[in-house]
């Protein structure tokens, strides 16, 4: 017993919690099937995630009015991977932004 401990005063509060934690929940056959199916689905999702990689693509969006500048105008509607290509603002008072376009799944 470590120095400074008083017998049972430190152990008993934890014992109740440990007993509660280790108690076996009675569960029906269907609960067990339910847990098994969820575990299999999680494993499949994990395997798919290891093989495939999500690539988020974003679309350049201008303010779409007559004052869009000649620098940004040509980019309107173009899509890039979220970390590729030019990012607004390209100049002072630029009102452009890149918005989510779609997600592509690539094999690793």
Asked if 101 touches Zn ion (CB under 5 A), the answer is: no
CB of 90 to Zn ion, least distance (A): 5
Q: Which stretch binds Zn ion (CB under 5 A): 14-22, 26-34, 52-60, 95-103?
A: 95-103
Looking at residues 59 to 88 of the shown chain, list those that interact with Zn ion (rule: CB under 5 A). Answer: 72
Q: Residues 25-64 vs Zn ion: string with x where CB under 5 A?
A: ----------------------------------------
Q: Around Cβ 23, how many Cβ atoms within 10 Å? A: 8
């Amino acid at each position: 017993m470590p120095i400074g401990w008083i017998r049972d005063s430190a152990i008993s509060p934890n014992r109740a919690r440990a007993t509660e934690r280790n108690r076996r929940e009675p569960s029906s056959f269907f609960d067990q099937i339910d847990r098994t199916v969820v575990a299999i689905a999680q494993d499949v999702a994990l395997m798919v995630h290891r093989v495939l990689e999500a690539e988020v693509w974003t679309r350049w969006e201008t303010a779409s009015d007559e004052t869009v500048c000649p620098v940004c105008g040509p980019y309107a509607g173009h899509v890039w991977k979220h970390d590729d290509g030019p990012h607004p603002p390209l100049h002072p008072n630029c009102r452009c932004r890149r918005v989510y376009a779609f997600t592509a799944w690539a094999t690793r």
